[in-house]
């Protein structure tokens, strides 16, 4: 590439960077993606808390259920491992929710006008050296690229993480989320004035095969465990692994650009 072509190319890149800083198309896209992820995390977190409440109620209710003459049903032993997993899953979902909220806040902070003004000033000085065809000081390049990394790292990581989710993980999430249902044995209709505790007592007391009921509850619990683990893995990857990976990639690019 000839020197004049290189000069105009560098000036065009600097002008593009200034335009991105002030027009903020990446920030708008990133915030939209983060908001979508936050809504998913809140929905899943609410589902986990509701499931935990139902399991706790089922455990406490099952102790007092009598079926026939002196026969008691105790599904609590089946639900104990699931209850522990749901508690841990709720913690993971809280962390995922906080991660999305933190990303949204960071995008807002790094997009504030003082940082944009500082980067614009630095880029204009850099552009002045290029325009006058003088060697740009190494410290100026480091400062400019450092500001660009600071401003663009979080939005780019957020966009890349959400794009990866939509491309590779969305179907998995939807399937797992759809399978998490409230654990309640039987399919009987509940009257408007019947609460969940009464429903559980009635369903178990009307059963003629306690072993079958426990087996069905065990099957439901095992299936729910599988879907909970899948959801936890998906949110850990999207809210922790992918953002850190993309920020690391950009940092490596920054180091290669500054110390080449």
Q: Which residue has the higher pLDDT, 80 or 11?
A: 11
Question: What is the model's pLDDT at position 248?
Answer: 95
214, 58 Cβ separation under 8 angstroms: no
The residue extents of the domains of the chain are 36-183+190-258
- Residues in the chain, total: 260
Least confident of 10-19, 67-76, 86-95: 67-76
pLDDT band at 182 (very low <50, low <70, confident <90, very high): very low
Average pLDDT, rounded, for the chain: 80
**Cβ proximity of 40 and 173 under 8 Å:** yes
User: If pLDDT is split at 50, 70 and 90, which confidence band does 87 have?
Assistant: confident
Ranges of H-type helices in the chain:
3-23, 25-62, 76-110, 113-131, 138-164, 170-179, 196-206, 210-236, 242-258
Whether 254 and 146 have beta carbons less than 8 Å apart is answered as yes
pTM of this structure: 0.78
Backbone angles phi, psi at 208, to 5 degrees: -105, 0
Q: Per-residue confidence at 71, pLDDT binned at 50, 70, 90?
A: very low
In this prediction, residue 197 has a pLDDT band, given cuts at 50, 70 and 90, of very low
Give whichever of 115-129, 131-145, 185-199 has the largest mean pLDDT: 115-129
d(CA 168, CA 177): 16
CA distance 61 to 200: 7
Average of per-residue pLDDT across 28-51: 90
User: Phi and psi at residue 32, in whole multiples of 5°?
Assistant: -65, -45
Is pLDDT of 171 > 80? yes
Q: How confident is the model at residue 252 (pLDDT cuts 50, 70, 90)?
A: very high
Average pLDDT over residues 141-147: 91
Closest CA to 58 of 235, 218, 260, 166: 218
Is the pLDDT higher at 106 or at 82? 106
For residue 101, how far is the Cα from the chain centroid? 10
Inter-residue contact 234 to 173 (CB < 8 Å): yes
Give residue 34's pLDDT: 95
Phi, psi of 153 (to 5 degrees): -60, -50
pLDDT per residue as tens digits for the range 198-250: 555 555 555 545 556 556 666 767 777 888 999 999 999 999 999 999 999 99
Q: What's the whole-number mean pLDDT along residues 128-145?
A: 89
Across the range 129-139, mean pLDDT stands at 87
Flag the least confident range among 41-50, 87-96, 201-210. 201-210
At residue 133 the predicted structure's pLDDT band, cuts being 50, 70 and 90, is confident
What is the rounded radius of gyration, in angstroms, for the C-alpha atoms of the chain?
28
Mean pLDDT, rounded, for 14-31: 93
Q: In the predicted model, is pLDDT for residue 4 greater than 80? A: no
What is the pLDDT averaged over residues 180-206? 47
Residue predicted with more confidence, 138 or 54 = 138
Q: Rounded mean pLDDT of 160-168? A: 94
């Amino acid at each position: 590439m000839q020197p004049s072509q290189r000069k105009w190319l560098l000036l065009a890149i600097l002008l593009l960077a200034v335009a991105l800083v002030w027009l903020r198309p990446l920030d708008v896209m990133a915030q939209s993606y983060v908001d979508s992820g936050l809504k998913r995390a809140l929905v899943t977190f609410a589902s986990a808390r509701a499931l935990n409440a139902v399991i706790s109620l089922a455990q406490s209710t099952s102790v007092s259920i009598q079926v026939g003459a002196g026969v008691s049903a105790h599904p609590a032993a089946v639900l104990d491992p699931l209850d522990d997993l749901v508690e841990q899953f709720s913690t993971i979902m809280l962390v995922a929710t906080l991660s999305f909220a933190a990303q949204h806040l960071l995008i807002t902070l790094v997009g504030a006008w003082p940082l944009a003004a500082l980067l614009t000033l630095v880029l204009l000085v850099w552009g002045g050296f290029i325009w006058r065809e003088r060697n740009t000081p190494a410290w100026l390049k480091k400062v400019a690229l450092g500001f660009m990394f600071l401003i663009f790292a979080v939005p780019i990581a957020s966009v890349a993480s959400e794009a990866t989710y939509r491309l590779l993980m969305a179907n998995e999430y939807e399937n797992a989320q759809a399978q998490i249902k409230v654990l309640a044995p039987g399919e009987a209709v509940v009257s408007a004035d019947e609460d969940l505790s009464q429903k559980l007592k009635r369903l178990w007391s009307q059963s003629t095969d306690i072993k079958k009921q426990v087996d069905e509850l065990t099957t439901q619990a095992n299936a729910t465990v599988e879907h909970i683990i899948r959801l936890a893995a998906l949110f850990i990857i999207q809210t922790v692994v992918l953002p850190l990976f993309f920020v690391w990639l950009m940092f490596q690019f920054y180091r290669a650009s500054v110390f080449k």
